[in-house]
Structure 1
Amino acid sequence: MAELNTKNIDSDMASHIERIYDDVVIYCLNRKVFDSELLCKVFELDEYTCSELITTMVINGVVGDVSDDGIYKVSDEYVHSDFLAMSNVGKHTGEKIKYNKKESGSAGKYFALLALVVFLISIYFLFRSPMSLLLLIPLSLIVAALSDKIGAIASSIGVIVVCVFSLIFVNSSTPIFGEKYEARIKAEDYRDSLRKEVIEEMNQISFGEKRLKSSLKDPSSANIRNSKLGRSGVVCGQVNAKNSFGAYTGYKNFIQIGSTSLIDDGTKDFANEWDDLCN
């Protein structure tokens, strides 16, 4: 199971190292500290066998960098289950497969970083359609959670695929980038401005009607219709209210200019004001 990089090692020693290799690796990984002298004593190995075993562990990536005092350290990047899987593949295929966790770990970190960048970019764009985050985030978490089963690289690629798919799918129905997104934003801004104008106009008309009623002898009797906003912000419409005799006068045109209320009295002056401000 262990890959021995020694030409002059005898078969008995090779078999012995292979039998104890898993136990030795697990022992070292649990301790997190590599003490060759203690290791040889614990497993009752002679100096030569222990040296060959340590060489094998160094080659397979169990033992990583050398500390300042010249002592080897257990690698943080080595995953024994991955090594065993590759060894089994080599056993069944007859191929000699070398495990190099440092390179594998670097590739895994690269893909993980790339997946994170793509995920954050996707979040940025999908915030333009917030409901789409309910698609991206759960799917990404599910794929990321499978890293122990399918591997870190495959999991990272899966997250990237989910992000790209989500962007394309959402953009096809609700544009979140590109020219269509810019057109969408312009259309939404135009609708918002129209809505604000309508609300402002309705507020001005309502305020003008209240001022008109307050100028009447019997404000509660007033019925107003066809109100609209005229030129220069004046309010124009028709009002029917009771006169001093308690009788309705019929609908007459009115112009509300600020706090000044003008009601059609049949004169030419009012007609001119109506034509200038309301028609």
Structure 2
Amino acid sequence: MKTFLMVVAGLVIAFMAIVVISSATPPSESDARMVAEDRIKSLMRDPGSTKFENTKFYGSLSGDGETLSGYVCGSFNAKNGFGAYAGRAQFIVRTVVSDNGRTRATSNVLLSNEDSLVFSERWSELCKN
């Protein structure tokens, strides 16, 4: 009898796992913002000190609802090598999020303090404020 109950319990747990996996939600804008913020943090000397403001996603979900792609725009401030905050800068990051938020990619990272003319043009084009 114990073996039978253990088998039934195992089947119930397996069924529940299948239901959870198959009812996956599509990637969200917060997934895209998190991917972009993680990418910006990876560029900082002190990633843990990075503070973000006004982070917004501009893009769309694919027709099948499985891939979210677009640009994340916002501003950040982080500590420099002297341990002081360096001042606010803006960023634009191209993001693609799929597989229910598990597959993430970034490219085309632009920072306002690197090339202000190119950045301003891209900000006007991509970050529809």
- Number of corresponding residues: 83
Match for residue 273 of structure 1 among 118, 122, 128: 122
Runs in 1 of length 4+ with deviation above 3 angstroms?
A: none
Match for residue 236 of structure 1 among 73, 89, 108: 73
Distance 2:126 2:92 in 1: 8
1:252-276 residue CA offsets vs partner (Å, 9 max, x unmatched): 2111122443221162111011111
Residue segments in structure 2 that go unaligned for 5+ positions in a row: 1-24, 60-68, 95-105
C-alpha contact 1:234 1:255 (8 A) present in aligned 2: yes
Q: Highest CA radius of gyration, 1 or 2?
A: 1
Distance 2:108 2:43 in 1: 9
| 1:254 alignment partner AA | F
- CA RMSD of the aligned region, Å? 2.0
When the two structures are superposed, what TM-score results if normalisation uses the length of structure 2? 0.56
Distance 1:242 1:205 in 2: 21
Which residue in the other structure is 2:110 paired with? 262
**Larger helix proportion, structure 1 or 2?**
1
- Judged with a 3 Å threshold, the aligned counterparts in structure 2 of structure 1 residues 261 and 244 are, in CA distance, closer, same or farther, namely farther
- Judged with a 3 Å threshold, the aligned counterparts in structure 2 of structure 1 residues 254 and 202 are, in CA distance, closer, same or farther, namely same
Once the two structures are aligned, what percentage of the paired residues are identical? 39
Residue segments in structure 1 that go unaligned for 5+ positions in a row: 1-195
1:216 equivalent to 2:53? Answer no
Higher relative contact order by CA 8 Å / sep ≥ 6: 1 or 2? 2
| 2:36 alignment partner AA | G
| 1:278 alignment partner AA | C
| 1:203 alignment partner AA | D
